[in-house]
Every structure is written in structure tokens, then in C-alpha cells.
Structure 1
Amino acid sequence: MTTWLIFRRSLRQSLRNPAWVLIGVFQPLVYLALFGPLLIPVVESTPGFPPGDAWQVFVPALVVQQVVFGTLFVGFGLIAELRAGVIDRMRVTPVSRTALLLGRALKDVVVLVLQSVLLVLIALPFGLRAPLGGVLLALALVAVAGLAMSCASYALALRLKSEEALGPVFNTFGLPLLLLSGVLLPLSVAPGWLFGLSRANPFAHIVEAERALFRGDLADPAVLLGAGATAVLLVLCVTWGIRTFHRESA
């Protein structure tokens, strides 16, 4: 119940300024419009690309990019609430520390899924064709990954308590996560050492799973591997987040 109350409060705050939902789609939309068409001849002429057309390769990767650069940065909002004394006022109430985390994180998941749906719909006129069942499963996978990253972002924000420290940390780790996930170009065309390095990045497996789902290839081993990587990420990040909220809010 307390998780639901925190979720509703956080969602109401987002609804007061829904422009942020559209702003979150703007950067992927720029990639979609300006970079996506460049991939069409590359896919047709470059060996080693994953199956599917350029949009089935690129759009699911952009959806994962929403996870990295969307939910990863939600911790800044928590720091603002810490500075305003909102978190301190909640600490003296009977509300569960776990609910303080999960209520906010679930709101971020709702925003993420909404942004992802908008991105997929916008991609349809560009030429994206994907089975509905595969897209729904892909969105579910993104939602779980988003929940994990949101919890991690809040945990780190609560530990650092400073935008000046949080920003460099996110930029330092966010860019390698993006580049080693194969968002812009599939890692199947990368040199062997770079492909091997990317295997340690859970988002590389999530991107490959998303591409398989957008093709409708549910039997692809990449789907199971991506789901496993997402599950491990969820357990680690949620556990870290809950422990941090209990320790810092004690």
C-alpha cells in the first residue's frame, strides 16, 4: 500500500509537467531521423549484421538507449528532494523505506514504457515492421531493465547527495555502457577484442534480445540470454537500492 502511495505521488508530480515525457523521446527521435536512414545501405552491404532490416536493428536499440539515458539520471530528482527536506519529512512517517524506493522507481518505469511506446509508434512511418507480440515482450524486458537502473540511480544519489559528484559518475559509466551495448552499430561487426569486451556488459545482451524480439524470433538464444542478464541486473540493483535506503534513512 505504501509503495502505491509513493508511486501515485511521484506520478502526479510527473503529470504536472508532462513535457518531460516528450523531451525524453526527443534525442532518440533525432537519432531515428538523422542516423537511421544511413543504416539502410550499410545493412544491405555490410556482412555480419544481425538479421532483419535497418529499422528492426536500430529501433530496439534506441529503446534500450532510453533505459541508459532515461532511468539512469532519475537520481538527480532525489537529490533535489533531499535538499528541499522532502525525504527527511518522509523519514519520520511510518512509510516503508523500501516503498520510498520502489514507489519512485515504478513511476520511472511507467514513464520509460510510455516513451518507448511513443518511439515505436513514431518509427512506424519510417518503415519499422515488427510483430505485436514481440514488441510487447520487448517492452516488458525494457521495463524490468528500467526498474533496475532506476533503483541503482536512486541508491547512488542517496550515497553521494550531490549533483556535482553524481553527474561525472553517470557520464563516466553511461557512455561506455552505451558504446559497448551496440546501440548505434551492432557489435557483430566489431573487432574480436571489442566484441569480447562487450560480453561483460549486460546491456549488450539486452540489445540483442530486443532485436530478436522485434524480428519475432522468440526462439533466438539471445532472448533467453538477454532475459537472464536483465534478471541478474534487477536483483543486484534492487537489493543495493533497498539496502542503501534502509541504511541512509536509519
Structure 2
Amino acid sequence: MSLALERGVIGERGSALTDTFALVGRQLTHLRRAPGKFIGIAMNPLVMMLVLGYLFKNFIVVPGSGDYQEYILAGCAAQVGLASIGPSAIGVASDLRTGLMDRLRSLPISRTSVLMGRTLSDLVLAAGTVVVVSVAGLLLGWRIHTGLWEALAGYGILLLFVYTMLWVGVLVGLVIRTLETIDAVGALVVVLFSFLSSAFLSTDGMPDWIRPIAAWNPVSAVVTACRDLWGNPSSPVRDGLPAQHPVIVALVSLAVMLAVVIPLAVRSFRTAAAR
């Protein structure tokens, strides 16, 4: 018994980083054998880009001036994060159903590492999807008009948003567990948070009672920050803190979300694995 406990402590405290990277490698190997997850995440933003940015670009006017294709690229890229919630939640719920989580729990590894390994491997997948979306945008005429560091900063904020959404997905999967319900919730999140934001349309033309909700939606802060950092067109009306300081609002809101969601997910995982 004491040996088992000692091994558990070593797994929890001594090699958490090693455990995490080992699990990341395992997850990435599995993802290479099942490319459907990548396709599922990439389809939604790519379809939105093609439909809105190519077919309907002449019917939608960007406030102020600018190309609508350049306006929506940040929104399509942010949608990668929203579209990752459902697959992340389904993956966790499936692992609980099949008993994989119980097998991992029996090993002398950190329980936090199990969730970290999943979210980091999913982040690699999502980053690849962001690259695909960016290349598609380049083919349709999108360009970055700022320097290298501004461009990288925009992608950094975008990937931080994606990582936050992956943790939200983990929490959803641990709490709900029913695959059909998770699928419905994931689709609803993509629609609501995409269109109740400035991802595809300016909030200036929204009804008065919806405008504050859309303005404080973290998606709006993220896409506005990316547009500013990439030199892409954005709304000329900058009323309110989120519009005036989108980078700060995006970073603070995502940090707060991570500080809340990660402990809740770890606690839910320990409770779920003990059942």
C-alpha cells in the first residue's frame, strides 16, 4: 500500500510535465488515425468563409470602409475555438464511457496531466485548423497589413481563445456526458456566440438590447483584437471598454475563464473518475 501511494505521489508531483507530454503524444497518434475530427472542426469556419466571404461579399457592407473578406477572417478563425468545444466534450465523455479514464486513473500519473494532455493535443489539432483557415483566407484575398510581431500577437490571442474553449469542452463533457446532448449544446454554442458578436457583422446595427451582450461577448474582443493587430477592417464606432481596448479585454477575460474552468474541470474529473 505504501509503495502504491509513493508511486502516486511521484506521478502527481514529480513527473507531471513528463506525464502530460506522454499523453499528448498518445492523443496525437490517435488523431492521426482518425482525421474526421480535424475535418469536423475545419468545416464550419471554412463554410462560413466561403458562403459569407465569397458568395455574399457584395451584399454585406463593412462599416466604414474595407473588404468584407478581410473583415470576417478573424471571425472564421475564432470559430475554430467554438467548433472545438463539441469534439473536446465528446472525446472526454467517450473516454469516461469506455473506461479509458479509469485505466489512466489507475496509473501513477497526475490526474491534471490527463486533462492537460488532452487539451494540448487538441490545441495542436486546432492550430492546424487555424492554418488551413488562414490559407483559405489568403486564397480569397485576405492579407495581414502589419508587421511580424503584431501578426504573431494576433495568432497568440487566437490560440489562447481556442485553448480556453477546449477547457470549456472538457468541463462540458465531464458534466453532461450524454453524447447527443453534448452535440446539441456544441452546435448551439457555435451559432449563438458567433452571431451574438462582431465575428461576422458589426454590432452597430444590432438591436439596442442585444448590443451590450454582443460587445461583452469574449468572441467580439478576440476578433476585434485580431483585426487591429492584423490591420484588417473593423467597426469605426469604438464605444465601450471592449471596443476601445480589445486586446486587454480579450486577455483578461480569457485568463479569468481559464482560472475558473480549469479547477472546475479537474474537480469534475476526480469526481467522475471515482464513480
How would you bin the TM-score normalised by the shorter chain?
Answer: 0.7 to 0.9
Cα distance in 2 for residues equivalent to 1:201 and 1:23: 24
Partner of 1:16: 33
Contact 1:50/1:186 (<8 A) preserved: no
- Bigger Cα Rg: 2
Does the 8 Å CA contact 2:197/2:214 hold for their aligned counterparts? yes
CA RMSD of the aligned region, Å? 2.3
Question: What CA distance in whole angstroms lies between the structure 1 residues aligned with 2:65 and 2:125?
Answer: 30
Aligned to 2:140, the other structure's residue is in SS state: coil
Residue number in structure 1 paired with 2:3: none
Change (3 A) 1:135 1:87: same
Instruction: Show the 5 A alignment for 1:58-77.
Output: 58-77=72-91
Structure 2 match to 1:235: 259
Alignment of 1:6-155 (within 5 A): 6-37=23-54, 38-40=56-58, 42-43=60-61, 49=63, 52-130=66-144, 131=146, 132-155=148-171
1:21-77, CA deviations, whole angstroms, 9 ceiling, x for partnerless residues? 24432332222222113235533xx6xx26643222100100011111123431111
Residue by residue over 1:153-212, the C-alpha shift from the partner in whole angstroms, topping out at 9 and shown as x without a partner, is 112212222213323333444432222122221213323322112234222211221221
Q: Which residue of structure 2 aligns with residue 196 of structure 1?
A: 212
- Structure 2 Cα separation of the partners of residues 75 and 195 of structure 1: 30
Q: For 2:251, give the aligned amino acid.
A: A
Q: In percent, how many aligned pairs have the same letter? A: 24
Which residue type is aligned with residue 60 of structure 2? V
Q: Which amino acid aligns with 1:208?
A: T
Runs (4+) of structure 1 exceeding 6 A deviation are none
Aligned counterpart for 1:209 among listed residues 211, 217, 225: 225
- CA separation in 2, counterparts of 1:12 and 1:119? 23
| Aligned partner of residue 204 in structure 2, secondary structure | helix
Q: How far apart are 1:4 and its partner, in Å?
A: 0.9
Aligned partners of 1:124, 1:53: CA distance in 2, in Å?
A: 13
Assess, with a 3 A threshold, how the Cα gap between structure 1 residues 164 and 24 changes in structure 2: closer, same or farther. Answer: closer
What TM-score comes out, normalization by structure 1 length? 0.87
User: 1:179 — aligned with what?
Assistant: 195
Residues 97 and 249 of structure 1 are in contact (CA less than 8 Å); yes or no, is this contact kept in structure 2? no
Count the aligned residue pairs.
Answer: 244
Unaligned runs of at least 5 residues, structure 1: none
Tell me how far apart the structure 1 counterparts of residues 137 and 189 of structure 2 sit (CA, whole Å): 28
How many Å separate the matches in 1 of 2:245 and 2:177? 41
| Residue in 1 that maps onto 2:249 | 225
Counterpart contact for 2:119–2:166, Cα < 8 Å: yes
2: distance between equivalents of 1:122 and 1:168?
Answer: 28
Letter in 2 for 1:180: L
